[in-house]
Chains A and B, each alone.
Chain A
C-alpha cells in the first residue's frame, strides 16, 4: 500500500542556524491492512516522515508511492487514498458541531455529505459521540475532540490513515478507547494505519509492527512480538521480609544486575536482571548470609518501553 524509498529531508538553515537533517535515507513499506507504529525520541524524524507521506513537506530526495501512485508525480490521486490527524484535536473546526465537521470534511474529500449520512451516524456511534453530535467541537472534552478528529479522517473512506500522536494528552480511559478503536479500524475495515506515538502502551497494545527511528535513521523494523523476544531478559523480583543489613545492601549494590526497588520495615524488593544463573546464586547467597526470609520470587514482565530504550539508547540495529 505504501512504499518509501531512500527518503531524505534536510531543513535548510534559518536565522543563522545550521541545516537540520531530519530524515536520513529511510526506506520501508507498509502492507494493506497493517497497523504500523513509527517510534522514536523527540526530533527523531517521525513527524517529518508522516508529513512527507501527507505531501505537506517536500523531501530532498527519495520516493513515496501510495497505492501505486507516486506522491511527487501524482499528488492528488496519491493523496486521495490518505487521510491524517496531524495536530490532534486541532484538525477540526471548533465552531462547527461534530456532525457538521464530518459533513464538511466529507465534501472536502470529494464525497456528497448526503450520501454518507449513514456513515456519519455510524462513526458517531462507533466513537461514542452520538449524544454530542450537535455540540460544537470547542465544547467537547479533549478526548472527544481527538476521537472526532479521527472520525473525520475515517469519513473520507481513505485506505491509509496517518495519526500523529493520537493519544497525546489524553487520560487513561480516553487513551484506552482510542486504542480499541484503532484495532477495530484495522481489523474490521482493513485500513492501513501508521501512527507515531511516545506511548509504549499504545504500541504494545495495537501495533503489529514497529519502525524505530533515531536521528533520522531507521534503527529497528520488526514486529512487536519479535522485538520483545529479541530483547527478552529474565528479570526476577525477589521479596524478603524486613530490611537488609548494611553489609547485605553494600554487597547487592556492588552487583550491576541488581536494583533495590522498595524498602520498608515490613519487606524489601530486589530486582535482579538474570543474564547468567550465577547472579541469582550470588543474590540468594547474600540474602542467606543473614537468614533473610524470602517471601516470593516472581518473574517480571518484559515490556516494550524497555525494548524501545534498549534500541534507542543502545543504537542497536534491529532484525
Chain B
C-alpha cells in the first residue's frame, strides 16, 4: 500500500478509536446532528440563514447545512488540530514524519472527512426514516462540488493554524471564523462577480444551482466548475503559504511546539 494511503489509514484508525472510546461524548455530537436533521426535514426555517443555500426546499436546507458542517469540521480539523497537537506535545513528532507536515495534515483532513461523511450518511438516513420524508439529491453532481468548496475551508484552517503557531492562545478570535464561514456560504457569488474569488463562496453558489435550479453538474458549464476548483486550489495554496510563513517564524523563535 502506498505510504500516503497508510498515513490516511493511520489517522482514520486513530480518529475512529477515539470516537468509539469516548462514546458518550461522541453520542452527544451525534444526537445534536440527528436533531438538526429532524428539524431540517420537518421544514424548520430557523436554520435557513446558517445553510446559506438559496430557496426553501428541504433538499436545499439539508445540503446547505451539510456543506456548512463539513466546512466547519475541515477548518477545525486543521487549525484546532495544530493547536491541540502543540498543546499535547505531539506536534513536534508530526513534524518529524517522513511525509512532511503538509501531507500529515492533509491525511488527517481526508480521514476526518470520511468519518464525518459516514456519520452524516447514517444520521441523515436515520432522520429520513424517522420523519418519513424523502429527498432527491444528485450526489454525483454534489460530491465534486462539495470537495472543491472544502478546499477553501482547508486553506482557512491552515492560515489560522499557522497564525496560532506564532501568536498562541487566540481561541476567542479563531471561534469567530465559524461565523465567517456562514457569511462565505451565503455570499451572493452568483450575482456579484468578485465574490466568486472568496473562499468557498463560488462552490456553495454552484451547489445552490444544483439544489434549487435542479441542474446537473454537466449543465453548470465546464468553465464554471473548473474555475471553482482552481479558486479552491488557490485558497488552499494561499492558506498553506501563510502557514509555512508562520511556521518559519515559529522555527526562528523556537516556539513551534509550544502552546
Contact = CB atoms under 8 A, between A and B. Distances in A.
B9 interface: yes
A127 to B, nearest CB: 18
B90 A92 contact: yes
Contacts of B14: 93, 96, 100, 104
Contact of B254 (A48, A84, A87, A93): A48
Interface residues of A, number: 40
A238 interface: no
Nearest to A105: B93
Interface of A: 9, 11-12, 14, 22, 48, 51, 54-58, 76, 79-80, 82-84, 86-87, 90-96, 100, 103-105, 107-113, 136, 152
A108 B9 CA distance: 11
Nearest to B8: A107
A166 B2 CA distance: 34
16 contacts: A9-B254, A54-B96, A55-B95, A80-B98, A90-B89, A91-B89, A91-B92, A95-B18, A108-B7, A108-B97, A108-B98, A108-B104, A110-B99, A112-B1, A112-B6, A113-B10
Contacts of B98: 76, 79-80, 108-110
Nearest to B14: A104
A87 B3 contact: no
Given A11-B254, A56-B257, A76-B100, A87 B10 contact: no
Interface string B191-202: 000000000000
B251 interface: yes
A177 to B, nearest CB: 22
B248 interface: yes
Most buried by B among A14, A104, A113: A104
Given A90-B90, A91-B93, A96-B17, A56 B251 contact: yes
A55 B88 CA distance: 19
B94 interface: yes
A96 B6 CA distance: 18
Contacts of B93: 84, 91, 105, 108, 152
Contact of A56 (B13, B90, B256): B256
B92 A86 contact: yes
Nearest to A85: B93
Interface in B229-259: 248, 251-254, 256-257
A11 B217 CA distance: 53
A90 B253 CA distance: 21
Nearest to B97: A108
A61 B7 CA distance: 34
A111 B97 CA distance: 11
Contacts of B7: 107-108
B10 to A, nearest CB: 3
Contacts of B97: 108-110
B173 interface: no
Interface in B129-150: none
A12 B249 CA distance: 10
Most buried by B among A54, A57, A108, A111: A108
Interface string B75-114: 0000000000000111011111111100010000000000
Contact of B253 (A14, A76, A113, A136): A14
Most buried by A among B7, B248, B257: B257
Most buried by B among A48, A90, A136: A90
A58 B251 contact: yes
Contacts of A95: 18, 21-22
A58 B100 CA distance: 16
Contact of A100 (B17, B22, B248): B17
B254 A57 contact: yes
